[in-house]
Amino acid sequence: MIFTRTDIPDVIICEPKVHGDNRGYFVETFRADKLEKFLGYKIDFCQDNESKSSRGVLRGLHYQLPPHAQTKLVRVIQGRVLDVAVDIRKNSPTFGQHVAVELSGDNKKQILVPRGFAHGFVVLEEDTVFAYKVDNYYSPECDRGIAFDDPALGIDWQILHEELNLSAKDRVQPLLKDAKDLFEYGIDYYTILSRQGTDHA
């Protein structure tokens, strides 16, 4: 597993080694010991989620507030997405900036989206299967979002606006400047929070 810091250093690209032959391939998609050694802190993932979507579906930008803040380790099993993480830690030197990486069933890249970031993705290929780990359960009371098309974010979603398919909730998320509930830069949201909450379908 190769770990690479992005232009926002807390967002990590994870690239597993693929072992392939005429029978197919084998890959380790997650190794807690190697990831935690690289990060320097422990992440206790508690749930795996999976979704299937058609081209043009955009999910995001989502986050959960403390004490239910989540780390996400995301990947694509089949198809392609553009995956985006936005720094929403007030006073961060990269506040409002984002990382965008194409994840696919072919490249097998993953992104670690830490607590303090909003996350979203747009599907670039039909019948795309998206999977991710979280280290905290879903909490409706702490569920928040920001507008995917906020001009201040400058995200190129690579698909025309009129071709996007969004939930009703994601069509009315606030701009980042109007979001009242954000994170604070410099706070360690891993040591001060414990896993809480209820399951999410």
- Among 63, 68, 98, 132, the active-site one is 132
Active site residue 132: yes
Facing residues of 48 across strands?
133
Facing residues of 19 across strands?
26
Pairing assessment for the beta strands 72-78 and 110-113 based on DSSP bridges: antiparallel
Token pair of 126 as six digits: 């039909």
The three-state secondary structure class of 162 is helix
The DSSP H or E segment spanning 183 is strand 183-184
DSSP E strands, 6-97? 12-15, 18-21, 24-27, 47-53, 58-64, 72-78, 80-87, 89-90
Active site residue 62: yes
- Among 62, 68, 98, 119, the active-site one is 62
DSSP E strands, 8-160? 12-15, 18-21, 24-27, 47-53, 58-64, 72-78, 80-87, 89-90, 98-104, 110-113, 117-123, 128-134, 143-145
Q: Cα dihedral sign for 14, 16, 17, 22?
A: negative
Residues tagged active-site: 62, 132
